[in-house]
A and B are shown apart, each in its own frame.
Chain A
Amino acid sequence: MSDEDDVLVIGGEKFSSRLIMGTGGAPSLEVLDRALEASGTELTTVAMRRLDPAVQGSVLDVLRRRGIKVLPNTAGCFTAGEAVLTARLAREALETNWVKLEVISDERTLLPDPIETFDAAERLVADGFVVLPYIGDDPALARRLEQAGCAAVMPLGAPIGSGLGIRNPHSIELIVEAASVPVILDAGLGTASDAALAMELGCDAVLLATAVTRAQRPELMASAMRSAVEAGRMARLAGRIPRRRYAEASSPSLPGFA
């Protein structure tokens, strides 16, 4: 990034990378490790699950070794109550009061449940958490969650893991226009141009996992996403030209050459 002062601030904490990574879907910890390094990420999500004594190695070791801040999520929760308990367990296990709040409505779409998400957000904010809620591309809900004290809002581009890109850029722009907390485009991105578009629309950061971890070459896709986020951010700051229906000559007209 050419602008050294262009930092992302979430919950009072500064990040120079605007690419937040997830860790789901990687075929091995070694592949994940290399992809995280290539991505340049400084903030990465993990899920909370029952401890399995048979599992060797931990995603936490990878994050610690790389100095990446851990962002626990509440993936797999269907109710506010489950999400609040999961967040509290994550705070205890990982010694962080940050949480990516994720309360899904059904297994088929994995779309976020707005009612349960809002309920959980209010309870977690009251309990001292830095809450980053995963939501649909709904400007009204985003505003309500900001008012409830969330540290960021994380609208989806498309369903989790779908790779469909940003299905409703207009709604994302509306969320960005109204928000005074960071807007993090979360879920549905498939390739680098999707990440660049998110940043061009004015999002403050992008969160992705599957697009990298399930790419044929995860490390290379992580590099591509890193570049795309940086390029999209610079384009946003630079200010794009307006769209026109017809051409506008970029060369001066030549008098006497008719």
Chain B
Amino acid sequence: MKVTINGDAGELPDGTTVAQAVRTLTAMTSGVAVAVNDVVVSRGAWESTSLTENDRVEVLTAVQGG
């Protein structure tokens, strides 16, 4: 299925979870937050939330700013 992670479109196996999608970018779990289609997925739900075709996943962290 086609999924976009941080703006990059790619193919992931059907049933890929949010947790697996995050692990394509980082092994970190603290200091990271995820939104799927502009809705926050809390860390406790990463393993149990499966992505679906054309989902837009945003994986954010804190950077220098302000």
Q: How many residues of B contact A (CB 8 A)?
A: 22
Chain B residues closer than 8 Å to A70, beta-carbon distance: 62
Residues of B in contact with A (beta carbons under 8 Å apart): 6-7, 25-26, 31-35, 38, 40, 42-43, 58-66
Asked if A51 meets B66 with Cβ closer than 8 Å, knowing A89-B40, A92-B40, the reply is no
Q: Contact between A58 and B31 (Cβ–Cβ < 8 Å)?
A: yes
* 7 closest A-B pairs by CB: A47-B65, A45-B66, A93-B33, A92-B33, A89-B33, A46-B62, A22-B66
B58 to chain A, nearest CB (A): 7
Interface hits, A42-85 → B, CB 8 Å: 45-51, 53, 55, 58-60, 70-73, 75, 85
Residue of A nearest to B6 (CB): A50
A165 to chain B, nearest CB (A): 19
Interface bracket on A: 35 or more
Chain B residues closer than 8 Å to A51, beta-carbon distance: 6, 25-26, 32, 59-61
Q: Contact between A23 and B65 (Cβ–Cβ < 8 Å)?
A: yes
**In the bound complex, CA of A229 to CA of B21 (Å):** 46
Chain B residues closer than 8 Å to A22, beta-carbon distance: 65-66
Contact of B43 among A71, A88, A92 (CB under 8 A): A92
Q: List 9 A-B contacts (CB under 8 A).
A: A23-B66, A24-B66, A46-B66, A48-B62, A49-B63, A58-B61, A58-B62, A91-B33, A94-B62
Chain A residues closer than 8 Å to B32, beta-carbon distance: 51, 93
**In the bound complex, CA of A71 to CA of B65 (Å):** 10
Contact of A48 among B26, B42, B43, B60 (CB under 8 A): B60
Q: Contact between A47 and B62 (Cβ–Cβ < 8 Å)?
A: yes
**In the bound complex, CA of A49 to CA of B31 (Å):** 12
Q: Contact between A26 and B40 (Cβ–Cβ < 8 Å)?
A: no
B3 to chain A, nearest CB (A): 15
A100 at the interface (CB under 8 A from B): yes
